[in-house]
């Protein structure tokens, strides 16, 4: 509510989202410390729970079919993340 009183500026998908994507393409993020050069978890650094999660991601969960690990787990599509569940309007 306080953000609305201050004149909250919600990003317009048509204008702001492409600019944010361009900015993310400019900025390079450091690699995750537990991943090896092939974007897989390093067993020496990851705990058993993380390794089990990676196994599900790559096999039974079939997440890796769209979210390709070699491309930083992205599928290069815009998804509705249903962010409205995190804030109240009105």
Separation of alpha carbons 71 and 84, rounded Å: 28
pLDDT the model gives residue 11: 63
pLDDT at position 56, please?
92
Rounded to the nearest angstrom, the gap between the alpha carbon of residue 3 and the centroid of all alpha carbons in its chain is 25
CA quadruple 57, 60, 63, 68: dihedral sign? positive
For 4-51, how does the pLDDT look when each residue is reduced to its tens digit (9 = 90+)? 677 776 666 667 777 777 777 777 666 678 888 788 899 999 999 999
SS3 category, 61: coil
Q: Which of 66, 58, 63 is nearest to 40 (CA)?
A: 58
């Amino acid at each position: 509510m306080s953000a609305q009183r201050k004149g909250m500026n919600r990003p317009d998908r048509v204008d702001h989202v492409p600019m944010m994507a361009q900015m993310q393409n400019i900025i390079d993020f450091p690699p995750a410390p537990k991943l090896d050069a092939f974007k897989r978890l390093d067993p020496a650094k990851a705990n058993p729970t993380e390794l089990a999660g990676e196994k599900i991601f790559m096999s039974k969960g079939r997440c890796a079919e769209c979210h390709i690990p070699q491309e930083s787990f992205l599928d290069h599509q815009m998804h509705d993340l249903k962010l409205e569940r995190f804030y109240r309007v009105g």
